[in-house]
Amino acid sequence: MWVKRCMCLCLVIVTADSTPTQANRTTGPSERAPGPVVLAAAERDSLIRSVVRDRAETEEWLRDRPTSYLATILRRDFEDRTTLAVGRAPDSDVRLDDAAVEPHHLRVTVVGDSFHVEAVDPNARFRVKDVELRDAMLGPSSVTVARFTLRLSHQRFPAIIVFDPRSPRLKEYKGLAYYPVDFSYRFVLRLEPDPRPDTVVILSTRGNRRRAVRVGWFDFRVGRARCRLEASRLLEPGVGENDLALFFRDATSGKETYPLGRYLDLERAPDGRYVLDFNHAYNPACAFSVHYNCPIPPRANTLRAAIRAGEKDSHYLGH
């Protein structure tokens, strides 16, 4: 689960023609709005073990891993510049105050959808997956300098996010809060495709405007409430043709769950349908750190029903 969190951090879909009425209906059950799947006992047990394992791995990652949300210490946006300097020197755009970092360690340049990373001082090196380099052309990814991890974030609004395993915020770790596993919130659904896939405006919590394709909708029932959520695919570097995004709010948002909303990764079933298991719903990175550029779920994805499954709000930032 923690890997998926890192892949899906930074967008919100906003469409001019989407309204709450179109997004979710509460007029009662319908043949067009299927309910949760019926599971055999053995399948339930296997799925419960999977959810519990994912939650444990996520908590372990958040507690002390080098790329934990709590390890972030700095974000530097490129804004109207194409190159940022990284080093120990006071004039560095991204200053890393550590003796193991050279005064002028790196020069990072945005080149289209990629980043050109160059070592500057003679003794400067950086690592990519444990391979030591002085020059590389990279897509959105991470490099390591001394003890620091630098995430090269693109999203067509490039930035460098710095992680430090000595971040004092790691001492704030207090675990994560979850609802009990409940498979009345697990659905296997067909995507109702948008007959004319729209390019929609995407906003982020940092005010950036980005683009995505609205690919269609999922209809389902929670109790007697009919719900509809729209799915989209980002038009950004590193996003694949089959990478669909789903961001939502519900009746628990701001009460039991994170006020901004939650995210759900989609799993493609062998028959072409999609698994929407809200037991895997998780909070955005901005629930933990101010250094992220997180999605705000669109008004069209505000459900009147309460989705009491998945991650609750653990109040890491005092919301």
Question: Given a cut of 50, is residue 12 above it in pLDDT?
Answer: no
Residues 60-84: tens digit of each pLDDT: 999 999 999 999 999 999 999 999 9
Query: At 22, is the pLDDT very low, low, confident or very high (cuts 50, 70, 90)?
Result: very low
**pLDDT computed for residue 103 by the predictor:** 98
Most confident of 98-107, 152-161, 257-266: 98-107
Q: What whole-number distance in Å separates Cα of residue 174 and Cα of residue 25?
A: 37
- Phi and psi (nearest 5°) for 199? -85, 120
Query: At 208, is the pLDDT very low, low, confident or very high (cuts 50, 70, 90)?
Result: low
pTM assigned to the model: 0.87
Nearest partner of 245 among 270, 282, 288, judged by Cα: 282
Q: What whole-number distance in Å separates Cα of residue 278 and Cα of residue 249?
A: 12
Q: What whole-number distance in Å separates Cα of residue 181 and Cα of residue 230?
A: 24
